[in-house]
Amino acid sequence: MPEGPEIRLAADKIAKVIEGKQIEAIDVGMPHLEAPAKQLTGRVVEQVETRGKAMLIHFDNQQTIYSHNQLYGVWKTAKRGQLPNTKRSLRLALHTQDKSAILYSASDIGVYQRGELSAHPFLSKIGPDILQADLRWQEVRKQLEAKRFCNRGLSALYLDQHFIAGIGNYLRTEILFAAGVHPDFKPKQLSREKLAALAKQTLVVGRRAYDTRGHTVPDSLSKKLAKTKGSYESVRFMAFNREGEACRICTCPIEKGQRNGRRIYWCPQCQPV
C-alpha cells in the first residue's frame, strides 16, 4: 500500500495537471459517482491535498472528491485523449482542456460537501499527518505519551493511522531503526530522551522519504551508496527489506520478523531489546 510520502507525491503530480483548471469532462467507473460527476463537470479545482493516505480534490462549489488508494489504487496523468495502456480498471478520470488525471483500481472513492469532511469515517479519526507542515516533534511525543497509545507495542502503534497518519510498513521499520528502538518496546518503557529521539525521527524519516521520492537513507550515506551504482531497492533503505545484510551502521546482520501480520526489520545491535 502506498504510504504518506507516495500519496503526497502523487498529489503533487495531479495538482500540476488539474489545480486551478476547469474540469471539462469526467469519466467514472463506479455507479455511485455518476450523479456527483455531473455536478463537478465544468467546475474548477481549487486544491489537491492529502491527509495521511487519503487524497482530497477540492472544487470551487465546495465539493470534494475523496479517494484512498488502499492496496491497488494508482493515479496517473496523461494528455487528454491519450489514456495509459493498462489492464487496470478505470475508476475516475478528470479531464481539463488538454490533460487528464486518472485513478485506477481504487475502491474507496466518494464526493462530499467540504463541510462534511470533518465527520468522514476515516478522516475524523486519523491522527496528525506525518507530512503536515506545522507538525512538530513535541506533538508526536505527546501522542506517544498519550494514555490511549503509551501502552501499545511500537510495531502496532506505528501502523495505526489514529496515532500518526501516513505511516506504513516501510516507514515503520525505518523510523524505529533511525531512533534505535526495538519494535517490541512500548512508549511507556522508553526514557524521556528516547521518546524525544523517536518523535524527532518520525518526522525526519517521513519528510526525507517525501523529499527523496522514497529513500530513507540519510543524505551523507546516500551519496556514498550512489557511487556503488546499486539498484534502486538496494540503496533505498537502512533496514527494510535487508534481511541478513550488514547493518549500514554496525555491520551486524539485519533481522526480519512478523509483527501485526506484516514483515518488519531491525538491527539487533543498534536496536537492542
Q: Which of 3, 6, 19, 174 is catalytic?
A: 3
Can you tell me the mean pLDDT for 70-86? 92
Residues 201-259 have pLDDT tens digits of 999 999 999 999 989 999 888 888 877 767 877 889 999 999 999 999 999 999 999 99
Share of the chain above pLDDT 70, in %: 99
Residue 1: what pLDDT? 67
pTM, two decimal places: 0.91
Residues 123-165 have pLDDT tens digits of 999 999 999 999 999 999 999 999 999 999 999 999 999 999 9
Tell me the CATH number for domain 4-119. Answer: 3.20.190.10
Domain locations along the chain: 4-119, 137-266
Q: Which of 76, 88, 99, 262 is catalytic?
A: 262
Residue 239 DSSP code = S
Which residue type does 169 have?
A: N
Residue 219: what pLDDT? 87
Residue 236 among the catalytic residues: no
Residue 125 among the catalytic residues: no
Residue 91 among the catalytic residues: no
More confident residue, 226 or 16: 16
Q: Which of 21, 53, 242, 259 is catalytic?
A: 53
Residue 220: what pLDDT? 84
The average confidence (pLDDT) of the chain is 95
- Of 13, 37, 11, the C-alpha closest to 23 is 37
Can you tell me the mean pLDDT for 83-109? 95
Residue 24 among the catalytic residues: no
Q: What is the sign of the dihedral through the CA atoms of 88, 261, 272 and 189?
A: positive
Q: What is the sign of the dihedral through the CA atoms of 8, 10, 16 and 18?
A: negative
Residue 141: what pLDDT? 98
Residue 164: what pLDDT? 97
Residue 224: what pLDDT? 83
Buried b (16+ CB within 10 A) or exposed e, 157-196: bbbbbebbbbbbbbbbbbbbbbbbbbbbbbbeebeeebbb
177, 13 Cβ separation under 8 angstroms:
no
pLDDT for residue 109 is more than 80: yes
What CATH class is the domain 137-266? Answer: mainly alpha
